[in-house]
């Protein structure tokens, strides 16, 4: 059974900015402001639809900049959601906001209404990239907001984007390493999608901006996934959600409904290539943790096909003793008198 969770979107509400990539109406698929009725309906529907409620079940307000919404309206939203917090209902509220929209007074209000987790749209830890993309905040703002949230006992989520205007592979990895230093509880990674009616769209049409290709984004994001995993930081999303009208307004850049799967597949492909480095061509069995079977095979068997092109005929098998993102490869001897050899 699934946890009961509710996601509510506050598209562009409270936001005085126009970031280079932002078209919230398209991303959320919602063009009118959220109402109290929307909140009640979404919560009631989730409660009636089965699933079970744990301390982790959340009512989440995404999009826009929640803590930049006028205080009365924020409180109205929070009060309404808070009616559904408690035994047999939801465990807490999650909001997302800008790093420069967090201060002590705001946190007092959030705490009062059972907000437990706050996600910050940091997007980059390079001030040059933030400026080029009209974010209107600095990396220091993110650092300060994380500190304040931690001091006040909130769970912290950080969101980053790869391939923004003015960014490079190095600046994107710098952001990922800075996130590791800040030790958030969760991370979301979004490769940049160029949507119509944005500043990035203008730059792209004028030939001033060249977005990442899907291949570049998968290579970069798979390395970041691995980095966060090794530092025990949970990545809760890689790639934009399918939904809203992203596809209909996508001009360039990266959008794939199973982008996270592509990245995990790439991690396994690179593990398999490392393990097979200098190994003779032949038949091999690749053992992976049972949950990673499809990622190891790759979408449309892409990993198996690429390995075959290198001379390695591989089959994937499950082994509960193999940790996530690791492989054990066994050479299948054609001479049946010899034992299979683990490489």
CB 179 within 8 A of CB 233: yes
CB 221 within 8 A of CB 190: no
Is residue 258 near ligand SF4 by the rule CB under 6 A?
A: no
Instruction: Return all residues near 214 (Cβ < 8 A) that are at least 6 apart.
Output: 254, 256, 262
CB 191 within 8 A of CB 217: yes
Instruction: Return all residues near 71 (Cβ < 8 A) that are at least 6 apart.
Output: 109
Q: For ligand SF4, which stretch binds (CB under 6 A), given 16-24, 263-271, 275-283, 335-343?
A: 16-24
Question: Rounded to the nearest 5°, which phi and psi values hold at 250?
Answer: -80, 120
Tokens read off for 41: 């309906």
* b/e code 107-145 from CB counts within 10 Å (16+ = b): beebeebbbbbbbbbbbbbbeebbebbebebbbebbbeb
Q: For ligand SF4, which stretch binds (CB under 6 A), given 13-21, 193-201, 238-246, 329-337?
A: 13-21
Compare residues 67 and 289 and give the one whose CB is closer to ligand SF4.
67
Beta-carbon-side half-sphere exposure of residue 215 (alpha carbons within 13 Å) = 0
Q: Which of 85, 93, 107, 121 binds ligand SF4 (CB under 6 A)?
A: 121
Residues 5/10/15/17 CA torsion (nearest 10 deg): 90
Tokens read off for 235: 């990545």
Paired with 213 in beta bridges are none
Is residue 99 near ligand SF4 by the rule CB under 6 A?
A: no
Q: Interface residues for ligand SF4 in 215-244 (CB under 6 A)?
A: none
Rounded to the nearest whole angstrom, what is the least distance from the CB of residue 81 to ligand SF4 in the complex? 20
Is residue 133 near ligand SF4 by the rule CB under 6 A?
A: no
Contact pattern for ligand SF4 over residues 30 through 69, marking x by CB under 6 A: ----------------------------------xx----
Residues 216/222/225/231 CA torsion (nearest 10 deg): -110
Q: Which of 6, 8, 24, 26 binds ligand SF4 (CB under 6 A)?
A: 24
Q: Which of 4, 25, 94, 98 binds ligand SF4 (CB under 6 A)?
A: 98
How far out from the chain centre does Cα 311 lie? Answer: 35
Rounded to the nearest whole angstrom, what is the least distance from the CB of residue 135 to ligand SF4 in the complex? 7
Q: For ligand SF4, which stretch binds (CB under 6 A), given 15-23, 87-95, 139-147, 320-328?
A: 15-23
CA distance 286 to 315: 6
Is residue 188 near ligand SF4 by the rule CB under 6 A?
A: no
Rounded to the nearest whole angstrom, what is the least distance from the CB of residue 4 to ligand SF4 in the complex? 27
- Orientation angle between helical segments 71-82 and 36-48, nearest 10 degrees: 20
Rounded to the nearest whole angstrom, what is the least distance from the CB of residue 16 to ligand SF4 in the complex? 8
Q: Which of 4, 6, 8, 12 binds ligand SF4 (CB under 6 A)?
A: 12
Q: Which of 8, 22, 95, 217 binds ligand SF4 (CB under 6 A)?
A: 22
Is residue 305 near ligand SF4 by the rule CB under 6 A?
A: no
Compare residues 4 and 25 and give the one whose CB is closer to ligand SF4.
25
Rounded to the nearest whole angstrom, what is the least distance from the CB of residue 209 to ligand SF4 in the complex? 17
DSSP symbol at 116: E
Compare residues 21 and 204 and give the one whose CB is closer to ligand SF4.
21
Rounded to the nearest whole angstrom, what is the least distance from the CB of residue 10 to ligand SF4 in the complex? 9
Interface residue list for ligand SF4 (CB under 6 A): 12, 15, 17-19, 22, 24, 64-65, 98, 121
């Amino acid at each position: 059974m699934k946890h009961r969770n509710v996601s509510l979107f506050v598209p562009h509400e409270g936001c005085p900015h126009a970031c280079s990539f932002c078209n919230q109406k398209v991303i959320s698929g919602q063009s009118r402001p959220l109402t109290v009725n929307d909140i009640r309906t979404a919560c009631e529907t989730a409660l009636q639809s089965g699933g079970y409620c744990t301390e982790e079940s959340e009512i989440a307000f995404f999009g826009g900049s929640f803590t930049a919404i006028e205080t009365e309206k924020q409180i109205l939203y929070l009060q309404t959601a808070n009616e559904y917090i408690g035994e047999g209902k939801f465990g807490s509220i999650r909001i997302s906001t800008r790093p420069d929209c967090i201060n002590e007074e705001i946190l007092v209000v959030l705490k009062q209404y059972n907000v437990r987790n706050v996600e910050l749209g940091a997007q980059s830890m390079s001030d040059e990239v933030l400026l080029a993309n009209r974010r209107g905040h600095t990396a220091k703002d993110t650092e300060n907001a994380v500190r304040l949230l931690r001091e006040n006992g909130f769970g912290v989520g950080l969101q980053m984007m790869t391939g923004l205007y003015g960014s490079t592979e190095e600046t994107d990895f710098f952001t990922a390493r800075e996130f590791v230093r800040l030790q958030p509880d969760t991370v979301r990674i979004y490769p940049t999608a160029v949507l119509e009616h944005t500043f990035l769209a203008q730059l792209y049409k004028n030939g001033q901006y060249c977005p990442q290709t899907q291949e570049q984004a998968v290579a970069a994001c798979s390395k970041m996934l691995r980095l966060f995993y090794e530092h025990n930081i949970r990545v809760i999303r890689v790639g934009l959600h399918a939904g809203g009208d992203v596809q209909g307004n996508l001009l360039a850049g990266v959008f794939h409904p199973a982008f996270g799967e592509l990245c995990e597949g790439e991690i396994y492909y690179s593990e398999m290539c490392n393990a097979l480095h200098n190994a003779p061509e032949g038949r091999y069995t690749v053992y992976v943790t049972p949950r990673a079977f499809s990622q190891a095979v790759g979408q449309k068997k892409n990993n198996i096909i690429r390995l075959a092109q290198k001379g390695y005929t591989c089959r994937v098998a499950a082994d509960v003793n193999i940790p996530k993102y690791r492989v054990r490869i066994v050479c299948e001897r054609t001479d049946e008198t010899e034992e299979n050899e683990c490489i």
